[in-house]
Structure 1
Amino acid sequence: MNDIDQRQLGKTLWNIADQLRGAMNADDFRDYMLAFLFLRYLSDNYEVAARKELGPDYPDLPEEALQMTGTSTPLQVWYEENLEDV
C-alpha cells in the first residue's frame, strides 16, 4: 500500500469514526472503542488457545452445521457436548 492509499484510508476511517461517535467527545469515543477492540482481541486469542489446547477434540464444523445446531462457534458446540469437563 503506497502513501497516497494509506492517507486516503486514514481519512476514510476518521470520517467513519466521526459519523459513529456523533456528538460524543473524541476521547470518550476512543475509550469506548478501545474497550471493544480489547474484547475482540481476547475473544480471538481465546479461540486460538482453545483450538490449540483441545487439539483433535476441537469440533471443526462448517457454517451450515453450526446453524443447524443453533450455535455460533465450534467452541460452543464443544462446551455443550462436554459439560462435565467445563
Structure 2
Amino acid sequence: MTQKELNQLGKTLWEIADSLRGAMNADDFRDYMLSMLFLRYLSDNYEAAAKKELGSDYPKLDDDDKRTPLGVFYEDLV
C-alpha cells in the first residue's frame, strides 16, 4: 500500500468510527475502541509469535498452497 492509500484508509476508518460512536458517550466509546485495538493487535501478532515459538515445527507451504500454515499445523495435531 502506498502512503496515500494508507492515509485514505485511516481517514475512512476514522469516519466509520465516528458514525459508530453516534450518540455514545466518548468514555464508553474509548473503552470499546481500546478493546477492538487490542484484538487487532493480537490478530496481527499471533502468526509471528506462533512462528517464533514453533520454530522448525512451523509448516512451510508452497507458494500455490492456499491454506494457512497454522491451519495445517492444527490439522496435523488432530
Q: Deviation string for 1:26-74 (max 9, x for gaps)? A: 21111111101112212333321110121232124458522xxxxxx42
The amino acid across from 1:82 in the alignment is L
Candidates 77, 81, 86, aligned match of 2:76: 81
Structure with the greater alpha carbon radius of gyration: 1
Partner of 1:49: 49
Segments of structure 1 that go 5 or more residues without pairing to the other structure are 67-72
Partner of 2:33: 33
- Percentage identity across paired residues of the two chains: 71
Does 2:66 align with 1:65? yes
The 2-side partners of 1:30 and 1:37 are apart by 10
TM-score (norm 1): 0.57
Segments of structure 2 that go 5 or more residues without pairing to the other structure are none
**Number of aligned residues:** 71
TM-score (norm 2): 0.61
